[in-house]
Structure 1
Amino acid sequence: MAKTGSGKGAYTAEEARPYQETLRMLRARLVGDTNHLADGALNRTGREASGDLSKMPIHMADIGSDNYEQEFSLDLLAAEQATLAEVDSALARIEKGEYGACVECGHRIKKSRLNAIPYTHYCIDCATERDQESRG
């Protein structure tokens, strides 16, 4: 499928307004989540680096558990930051008048899909095709 920049499937400003509000709320939540995850994952190492060993695990299994928890938190943080970038991209598309048009084929993304994933770039057909190509 050829990429089109015509925006022929884009929603009007009025049609995009509810999605813009949803995206803004999602963005605020994600910013809070990423700040919390970053603080939780990085403060542990900050305490240890500063010499505060009062909560330092004594047993090797505890150290392994702490490392796993930190790595898990950092993975969650990366995923949240990626979603935040997608939300910011969707908000930019609203500002440009391009929101709701599939970036692959240019057709209008159905409202049911936008209700489920308001920051999506692709209509269901193009998303399915991309998913199959990545698996194949």
Structure 2
Amino acid sequence: MKTLKILLIEDDMIEIMKFTRVISSLSLPHKIIEASNGEDALGLLEDKDNLPDIILLDLNMPKINGIEFLTILKNDKDLKYIPTIILTTSSNPRDLLACYEIGIAGYILKPLKYEEYASKIEKLLSYWSVNKFKDN
């Protein structure tokens, strides 16, 4: 299993703590880079020599929302290939469709129960750690 460099773009501290807790409780070796909004994330992504393996993106954020961030990301020749998975509470079919039209690798609804959330994150990360198309 490959160690992933994960960019987590999330403005809710509780969600960040929950995600970090899942990674630590599963003893996964992945490296998490946090950005609290799309603007900060774009700043981190300017370092082309240190790009993440995957991006986990919340849709409802201040400054640049998830769909705006995705649009910028997918229009950048260096960044458009980074698999981006939406991790959101939005079950709005329009959001889902818009994200897939822009080009995402997955759309996960945040379940309310911690156990369900942990299970979804574990499956997601195990998939991407064995199905990565490039070595770092």
TM-score by length of 1: 0.26
Q: Which has the higher helix share?
A: 1
Higher relative contact order (CA 8 A, sep 6+): 1
TM-score by length of 2: 0.26
Q: Which has the higher strand share?
A: 2
Max radius of gyration: which structure?
1
